[in-house]
Amino acid sequence: MSLLFLTRAKPLFLSRYLSTFLSPAPTNLLRRSFHGSATMSEAEKKILTEEELERKKKKDDKAKEKELKKLKALEKAKLAELKAKQAKDGTSAPKKSAKKSSKRDASDENPADFVDPETPLGDKKRLSSQMAKQYSPAAVEKSWYAWWEKSDLFKADAKSSKPPFVIVLPPPNVTGALHIGHALTSAIEDTIIRWKRMSGYNALWVPGMDHAGIATQVVVEKKLMRERGLTRHDVGREEFVNEVWKWKNQHGGTILTQLRRLGASLDWSRECFTMDEQRSKAVTEGFVRLYKEGLIYRDIRLVNWDCVLRTAVSDVEVEHIDIKEKTLLNVPGYDKPVEFGLLTSFAYPLEGGLGEVVVATTRVETMLGDTAIAIHPDDARYKHLHGKFAVHPFNGRKIPIICDGILVDPNFGTGCVKITPAHDPNDCEVGKRHNLEFINILTDDGKINTNGGSDFTGMPRFAAREAVLEALNKKGLYRGAQNNEMRLGLCQRTGDVIEPMIKPQWYVNCSMIGKEALDVAINDENKKLEFVPKQYTAEWRRWLENIRDWCISRQLWWGHRIPAWYAALEEDERKEVGAYNDHWVVARTEEEARKEAAEKFSGKKFELTQDQDVLDTWFSSGLFPLSVLGWPDETEDFKAFYPTSVLETGHDILFFWVARMVMMGMKLGGDVPFSKVYFHPMIRDAHGRKMSKSLGNVIDPLEVINGVTLDALHKRLEEGNLDPKELVVAKEGQVKDFPNGISECGADALRFALVSYTAQSDKINLDILRVVGYRQWCNKLWNAVRFAMMRLGDDYSPPLTLSPETMPFSCQWILSVLNKAIAKTVESLNAFEFSDAANTVYAWWQYQFCDVYIEAIKPYFAGDNPAFASERAHAQHALWVSLETGLRLLHPLMPFVTEELWQRLPSPKNTERKASIMICDYPSAIENWTNEKVETEMETVLASVKCLRALRAGLMEKQKNERLPAFAVCENNVTSEIVKSHELEIRTLANLSSLEVLLKGEHAAPPGSAVETVNENLKVYLKVNRAINTEAEQEKIRNKIDELQKQKEKLQKVMSASGYEEKVPANIKEDNATKLAKILQEFDFFEKENARLVAETGNVQ
């Protein structure tokens, strides 16, 4: 807009569109144009001239338009005068004419006034001059986040004097995309952090990503094979690791961007990655310190081995499936399915011609590595075999018969057990107890090695299974097979069958640090760690009382290289790396390692080789609360924010991550890394099933936020890796659960639904319709604020203080129940009962503010009645306070819609307004707002309204909104006074034409009306302008009498029981007598009501 145009603009035009043209952002632009230059260039003058010419062409049209607007304005003024006169005279225009007028007013609206102008990225959102008539999640949630982030509203200050409150985001995998579990984590943690930030804390929520060793390596290996037809071994370690970094920089971290869409107020200035320089330094330091303290050591033990990845994997990365009988399964690397669920029996010939012993196994190929046969020492059948030997049928190896009462059950099978110490966990323990030979028969990729014999060398393990069976059969040693129930371990990443393998690995000794981690959670005298829900304390105890040493090495290329070097001495007989366990040195750098080796092997020649293995991902994750704050350096962040405050995570990783953080935090950081752990439930579908691609029930949070069609859901499945049969089943599941796709719900509704679900024990059965319901509730919230803004008007200025005692009844009430909602919400948040907090806020907004207060104050604003001038002003103040406070109360749960609505509210004059709702104070209860008397009286009002509405619904088949006369019959003067003083509220909320208050005994029940009991002191009658259905009314009364009769008989039976007078306490006898009197009173009332109906209609039943 040019300066020339502004100076020529007429006041009428400007005033009409003042909020559009002179909103804050354009005003700033104008200011810059006024002061940016003292002179105009020729080009600028030329542009101005062209603009003037353009305006001149449109001048006539604009003049006509302005004239038309003046006429319309005049028409509106006359209409307003007419309405005022009608109000004064007590008349009103016909409804039809009002509707037409409304339509005419609507036709004057400019649709552009209801659309938000475009906001440059990072600028404060530019709002439309008029509130849109419908809530739109996409429109409301646009632009706010970029402004919050750019304005550093999420940023914590290490030098702040505020008390710190810190949460570390459980680092999602760098390969990950947002799933519903992440959305739950984000919704809960952001609720906590926003609440704490608003409550005066220096709130820090640290984002980070996990390098996810196995997951990331698998993704890049597949990419390499797909694009170049190469394996990682083809390209070599260095080039492969470079490829992973390239992939990470291009594609990794998508999930952190997606978290922004959920409104997660993370401090992005502190974003970190488990393999960045600082975190890598922390990992090396942690390993070295633990090694120096004797807590890390190297040993040869049995591990979970994945033959596809060629690495050990942790227990958490192994999924177990139950097999009931002979079952064929597809195994990676095999052309045909492999048999599982069979117990194969075969015979071992005994040395010296003593016969044979029969053993059984589900993995017959492992017999190539058998080094013993175990029997029970007390089994009489085999007493003669003590100290004897069997002979291996394929290599002649002598196999000792050993006695082991721990492993062998003489009543199971033949009572003889084959022992393969290098390939079975139980056999491994037997091998250690009896000092047996450990013979590994497999290569790293799952083929039989030379230890298995020349007939089988080079065969894949499951091909060898068939070959061994065939060879046993040829030797006449096969004794058959039978179905056998078993559990089979599969790698989560590859689906490969896990092979127990004996391997040299690095371990953390967990006995002492595990005990310390246990004590801080269960020792009341030294309790520093609390679990919510408390039930997980028992699981913590179970895990840590039975903790085993932690295998921390992985045979991968992507990850933190273990900071250990092997010193191969010139004099060593065995030259392979790792041959001598005492030749390892652990150091922060190779230079440091060389110096240490020179001291350790003084005067000897050696060559250093760094361990090829990398550390388990959980090792760096276990250090995360330390490393994200700069440890091992004494940073400002570490000093200000460690230990953190709360860990929020899923209970499925209680041991694998939580326990390790506690053990390492205490050992290396000097304190528990957090004082409270909140375990959120696991999310299932609406039917309680685990979410699975093959079932088609996986829910993508972004599809819920943005909406998605059924076809698009199908397309997502088709782009996955389901086989054709699974695809059909998955699509059928989607059709059943999402026949019309998923409606656009927005982030606020999804967040609120997820948080409100957290009361559901350890599982959430997520029904998308509930999310849709909260999206509809956002619309109600939106409309409530629209209504309020219209009632406040453009010139309204909120008060700095309130005096509730001077306000009308409904205003006192809304402030009192708001006060209770605030207290209950804060109490629930403090107790980590997030569902209760969400439900409390929802209930206040929905059932008290929208359903009652907004309706109750409408008479104050009807027709500008001067009799209500004072009430109207008070109602405006209570309305503004309720909105402003209620939005702050709701903000942590629904950040986007609350920010938008709060920004639209007027603020008190001569006070500095906070830039954003998220840095306002969280509401706290205000003592003089609470009014129990008002709340009690409102309970009577609302109970009366409920009864009158029920009568209307039962009596009126049509015209249910017709205003009807009603009567309130009161048992006493106290009740009568309460009802009389709140007659306006009852009339308004129950939509009555009149309400007459009668005192029982002084007034007869109104004829031609139906009755409903409010309480023992109050009955309400509704009169309709036609004959009521007396049969239905009499049926209702008869049912009530029957119910009272049962209550009376039950109570009389209790009161007439033997010993009642002597044994029952006086207060209980008094209560029972009062109850009986009330029942008899009600009984008498309904008998009379029935008689009244009979007298009025002559209908005797």
pLDDT in tens, 359-416: 999 999 999 999 999 999 999 999 999 999 999 999 999 999 999 999 999 998 899 9
H or E segment to which residue 683 belongs: strand 682-685
C-beta neighbour count of 671 within 10 angstroms: 12
Distance CA 698, CA 685 (A): 8
Percent of the chain at pLDDT exceeding 70: 87
Residue extents of the structural domains in the chain? 3-109, 325-484, 563-610, 690-744, 775-909, 1029-1101
pLDDT recorded at residue 10: 31
Q: Evaluate if residue 1030 carries a pLDDT over 90.
A: no
Residue 327 pairs in a beta bridge with 340
Q: Evaluate if residue 599 carries a pLDDT over 70.
A: yes
Amino acid in position 1050: K
pLDDT recorded at residue 823: 97
DSSP letter, residue 1000: B
C-beta neighbour count of 239 within 10 angstroms: 12
Instruction: Say whether the peptide bond before residue 117 is cis (omega within 30 degrees of 0).
Output: no
Distance CA 170, CA 165 (A): 16
Extract the tokens encoding 992. Answer: 């009555």
Asked which of 42-56, 725-739, 1070-1084 is least confident by mean pLDDT, the reply is 42-56
Residue 389 pairs in a beta bridge with 400
Extract the tokens encoding 707. Answer: 């909406």
Asked which of 38-47, 72-81, 411-420, 665-674 is least confident by mean pLDDT, the reply is 38-47
DSSP letter, residue 851: I
Q: Evaluate if residue 144 carries a pLDDT over 70.
A: yes
pLDDT recorded at residue 18: 32
Percent of the chain at pLDDT exceeding 90: 66
C-beta neighbour count of 333 within 10 angstroms: 13
CATH architecture of 325-484: Alpha-Beta Complex (3.90)
Instruction: Say whether the peptide bond before residue 923 is cis (omega within 30 degrees of 0).
Output: no
Q: Evaluate if residue 254 carries a pLDDT over 60.
A: yes
Extract the tokens encoding 42. Answer: 């020729």
pLDDT recorded at residue 959: 57
pLDDT recorded at residue 1074: 81
Residue 90: helix, strand or coil by DSSP? coil
Give the residue with greater pLDDT, 887 vs 576: 887
pLDDT recorded at residue 76: 54
Q: 């017999």: which residue's tokens?
A: 367
pLDDT recorded at residue 101: 46
H or E segment to which residue 505 belongs: strand 499-508
Measured in degrees and rounded to the nearest 5, phi and psi for residue 311 equal -150, 160
Where residue 35 falls among pLDDT bands split at 50, 70, 90? very low
pLDDT recorded at residue 800: 86
pLDDT recorded at residue 64: 46
Average pLDDT over residues 872-887: 96
Closest among 547, 539, 537, 538 to 515, alpha carbons compared: 547
Average pLDDT over residues 142-148: 97
Where residue 1002 falls among pLDDT bands split at 50, 70, 90? confident
Domain 775-909 fold: Isoleucyl-tRNA Synthetase; Domain 1 (1.10.730)
Q: What is the pTM of this model?
A: 0.81
Instruction: Specify which of 17-21, 139-143, 1057-1061 reaches the highest per-range mean pLDDT.
Output: 139-143
pLDDT recorded at residue 347: 97
Closest among 631, 778, 32, 770 to 272, alpha carbons compared: 631
Pairing state between β 676-680 and 646-650 = parallel
Contact 1096, 1029 (CB under 8 A): no
In 252-410 the beta strands, taken as DSSP E runs, fall at: 272-273, 296-306, 311-313, 318-323, 327-329, 338-340, 342-349, 356-361, 372-375, 389-391, 398-403
Average pLDDT over residues 806-826: 97
Closest among 775, 891, 923 to 265, alpha carbons compared: 891
Extract the tokens encoding 842. Answer: 């929802």
Q: Evaluate if residue 897 carries a pLDDT over 90.
A: yes
pLDDT in tens, 756-805: 999 867 888 889 999 999 999 999 999 999 999 999 988 899 998 889 99
Asked which of 51-65, 338-352, 381-395, 656-670 is least confident by mean pLDDT, the reply is 51-65
Q: Evaluate if residue 99 carries a pLDDT over 60.
A: no
Residue 296 pairs in a beta bridge with 508
Distance CA 750, CA 704 (A): 7
Q: 């086989």: which residue's tokens?
A: 723
Closest among 603, 311, 280 to 445, alpha carbons compared: 311
Average pLDDT over residues 900-913: 92
pLDDT recorded at residue 936: 96
Average pLDDT over residues 545-556: 92
Q: What DSSP string runs through 551-570?
A: E-EE--SSS-B-SEEEEEET
pLDDT recorded at residue 80: 53
Contact 231, 224 (CB under 8 A): yes
The mean pLDDT of the chain is 87
pLDDT in tens, 461-506: 999 999 999 999 999 999 999 999 999 999 988 899 999 999 999 9
Residue 456: helix, strand or coil by DSSP? coil
**Positive or negative CA dihedral for 880, 886, 889, 890?**
negative
| Residues written for the chain | 1101
Where residue 81 falls among pLDDT bands split at 50, 70, 90? low
Distance CA 427, CA 385 (A): 20
CATH number of 1029-1101: 1.10.287
For the CA atoms of 644, 649, 655, 656, what is the dihedral angle to 10 degrees? -90
Q: 């190297």: which residue's tokens?
A: 298
Distance CA 596, CA 587 (A): 8
